[in-house]
Amino acid sequence: MKTVLIIEDDFDDAYLTRCWLKDYDARLAVTIVRDGLAALEFLKCQGEFFLRKPCEAPFLIILDLKLPYISGMDLLNQIRRVEGMSEVPIIVYSGSDADPDEHNKPELGIYDFVRKSASPDQLLNAIAKVSKLINVEKTTDSLSLRKALIVDDDPVVRATAREFLLRQGIEVFEADDGNPVMDMIRKHKVDMVFLDIVMEHKEGIETLTDIRHEYPDLPVAMMSIDNLYLNLCRQLGADLILQKPLDLNQVNEFIHRFNTTDNNPK
């Protein structure tokens, strides 16, 4: 699977770009990072990306110029010094007022400069040119995607998990209690579920029982602020217990544990 790395600090812009990429080619795994420091951690397999394999380097980077901590142009030069990154194509996609002619520099690996004010087609045309250049063929085949369902009545917990999962290139669906879970699993064919134990309406233990009845092999991580129901959750078939506040390293390990297993509900 080919990976596209989006380096963009505006969540809405990053999410829209990801949607356009998925519409263009459903095979693409899209990872989003919010600043230059996180981008370098991803490329070097450090920090929260320590489990990523160096051989899974992105075939394309989409870079915003206005970033916190490290400017886009400074980051570009640092990316070129990362092992294996010297020739990865980069498309600058920015709201910056910079002159595009000053940034269309093939010697730096900048293959195109697209303004955010342009239509999505302009960005997709630039991606198509890069794909053709490096012999990545577009496909419309229906292939398995990584999809996660987050079920929690706390919007802060959902937002924390959602942002982390989106940065891993995982499509995210959400619910605030257990009532819609089974319908969402069937509709979206999710690969994994993050399920709160205590919720106001239908609670996590009852929902876990329903999931295991219909999908015995679907990976489920239960989330709890205490350990009151931990043993019961394990007996009912939970694959992991996540203590709140969430440890993102544990979430990452959970994702990679099932990365090569086909758990997608049919």
pLDDT digits (tens, 9 = 90+) for 213-257: 999 889 999 998 877 777 788 778 888 888 888 888 788 778 877
* pLDDT at site 230: 73
Closest CA to 169 of 18, 8, 11: 18
* pLDDT at site 221: 93
pTM greater than the 0.75 cutoff: no
Domains of the chain as residue ranges with CATH: 3-133 (3.40.50.2300), 147-257 (3.40.50.2300)
Buried b (16+ CB within 10 A) or exposed e, 136-166: beeeeeeeebbbbbbbbbeeebbebbbebbb
Distance CA 49, CA 14 (A): 19
Strand order in the sheet with 171-175: 171-175, 147-151, 192-196, 220-224, 240-243
* pLDDT at site 219: 93
* pLDDT at site 132: 67
Distance CA 167, CA 4 (A): 11
* pLDDT at site 126: 84
Distance CA 17, CA 158 (A): 21
Mean per-residue pLDDT pooled into runs of 10, the chain (266 residues): 86 81 76 92 88 78 91 88 87 72 62 82 81 54 64 90 80 93 94 91 90 91 80 83 83 74 51
* pLDDT at site 181: 95
* pLDDT at site 139: 45
* pLDDT at site 262: 47
Burial of 201 (0-12, 13-18, 19+ CB in 10 A): exposed
